[in-house]
Amino acid sequence: MRLARCDELYLVEHFFSIQGEGRFAGVPSIFLRFGGCNLRCPGFGNFEVGGKSVAGCDTIRAVYSSLYRKMWHPVRELQELEEIIFEYEDRLSYMPDVVITGGEPMVYADHPIFNALLKRLVEGGYRVTVESNATIAPSLKEHPFFSEITFAMAVKLSNSKEPKAKRVVHEAIEVLANETKESFFKFTLDRKLAEGSGAEEIARIVQRYENEVYCMPLGSSEKEIGENAPSVADFCLENGYRYSDRLHVRLWNREEKR
């Protein structure tokens, strides 16, 4: 199910780091962060930007174009993105993973340059992960290469303060969970949710699927991660889910391009 379309493709940043979350945590990866998101998640925190208090996730620079316009670079040609990959590749003696993230990168599910990049990466033998809120699915009939991509399905829970009808789109989850490669669920919980309604919320979403479920603590700083992590770890032990830490936050706090 495709719920959004962006005619202009924006790259916010690119960097080389370790994957900090989910199934491939610890794996050296090239990250391409695209701008744009169909959710705002006001429950995840408040950040000071240019003297303004802005609510949202810890990657708000890829969400609010009006506040971070200088970081949003329009991509006109596929070659621009290929050169970024080649630049990192030339420095390495091995092939890293490639992680496509945002914002919500699937707002570009119909963009020709975005799709050409993913197709080229898959054909080049890269393991590609798209970090997505799982509200937008590609057309596998039009773009069959998506079936070879792993989706980290970060479906948002009630602590995001997004309306359920907007954050849980079963038609999209169905496609991503069943028709793409090794895709997995990745939920963000705080202490309150882990000790409250979290188990029931997650069960309703994942009960019809066999995909692995990872749960990680909410936090945009090492301190906040530490406050939520013990409850989330206990939650995973109680419910049989996999605990995922957030290694990049532990190692580098909120440093950008990490």
CB neighbour list of residue 46: distance below 8 Å, 6 or more residues apart: 53, 54, 55
Residue ranges of domains in the chain: 10-252
**How does pLDDT run across 230-249, given as a tens digit for each residue?**
999 999 999 999 999 999 99
Compute the half-sphere exposure of residue 131: CA atoms within 13 Å on the CB side of its CA.
25
- Percent of the chain at pLDDT > 70 equals 97
Average pLDDT of the chain to the nearest whole number: 94
State pLDDT tens for residues 163-210.
999 999 999 999 999 999 999 999 999 999 999 999 999 999 999 999
Q: Region 209-232: what's the mean pLDDT?
A: 95
CATH number for the domain running over 10-252: 3.20.20.70
| pLDDT surpassing 70 at residue 136 | yes
Which residue did the predictor score with more confidence, 201 or 65? 201
Write phi, then psi, for 133 (nearest 5 degrees). -85, 5
- Say yes or no to pLDDT of 152 above 60: yes
Q: How much is the pTM?
A: 0.95
- Measured CA to CA, the distance from residue 12 to residue 41 in angstroms comes to 19
